[in-house]
Amino acid sequence: MKKGILISSLSIGLCYSASTVAFSEKNVEVYSQAMNKNIPVTIVLPEGYANSNKYSTIYTLHGWSGNNRNYPEKTGLGELADQYNVIYVSPDGNYDSWYVDSELKKESKYYTFVSKELVDYVDKNYSTYTNKEQRAITGLSMGGFGALYIGIKNQDRFGHVGSMSGGVNVEQYKNNWGISAVIYDNWQDYNIKDLAHGLIFTKSNIIFDCGVDDFFIEPNRALHQKLLDLNIPHHYTEKPGGHTWIYWQDSIALHTHFFSQKFAQAKEK
């Protein structure tokens, strides 16, 4: 893979109008035994969803201060579900959980919730493929970190992993966005660059990107270089844009296209 890849904003060919929208949304509460509380989750089902069929799933993790409604409301998630015939799962990751099992906040166990409890719930209650080759996880900002962190540690559950504008080096920003309230001083256990060796010989398909005007661009470039140094296959792009929903609307389409290609290739094997 070439270093310093820069491409223009990519359109994946979303063509739809309000009259053609046929997807459906399910706003549910999923009980977390680890946290002893219900967690809001939005599930987006494609047009014609039926229990007689099986569907691939894409988990989308929101950013800092966000919630489970961010992706469905601020991107074309429903239309993408229709176009690619996939199920999206958007959990509430709390205001600033960073999707870790916090040593400081014992009641914050969002790593366990997303990687184990939520996956089990979705596979039990919806007609999904249950093998990792048909399950992907991605996210933006805090959620981009969370998706990579969860994906690296759960390669038996998520066969495809992504990040959009991810805060991948939490140590660098430990005094911001509530990070120090959930992560202790063992930063090497959380910085994605320090965890990257866990992807050596991985069978996971990895995609991540960042806007050239984003304040997270340098940590993402450093992660890209680390993966190159370790000879870990991945798809990395830099695009015009900053830390905004305009950028992420494009990114979720890019990631969905990438994941859907991998889903199809896995079915052919």
Per-residue model confidence as pLDDT tens digits over 168-185: 999 999 999 989 999 988
The arithmetic mean of pLDDT across residues 132-156, rounded, is 98
Q: How many CB atoms lie within 10 A of CB 167?
A: 28
The arithmetic mean of pLDDT across residues 100-116, rounded, is 92
Residue 204 clears pLDDT 80, i.e. is over it: yes
Rounded CA-CA distance 171/187 in Å is 6
In the chain, the amino acid numbered 27 is N
pTM higher than 0.85: yes
Rounded CA-CA distance 164/10 in Å is 14
Percent of all residues in the chain with a pLDDT value above 70, rounded to a whole number? 92
Q: Which two tokens stand for residue 52?
A: 């007689």
Q: Which two tokens stand for residue 90?
A: 């958007």
- pLDDT band, very low/low/confident/very high, at 134 (cuts 50, 70, 90): very high
Residue 29 clears pLDDT 80, i.e. is over it: yes
Instruction: Tell me the Ramachandran region of residue 223: left when phi exceeds 0, alpha when psi lies from -120 to 50, beta otherwise.
Output: alpha
Residue 16 clears pLDDT 70, i.e. is over it: no
Give the tens place of pLDDT for each residue, 184-199: 889 999 999 999 999 9
Q: Please, what is the end-to-end C-alpha distance for the chain in angstroms?
A: 25
pLDDT value for 21: 59
More confident residue, 248 or 4: 248
pLDDT value for 105: 82
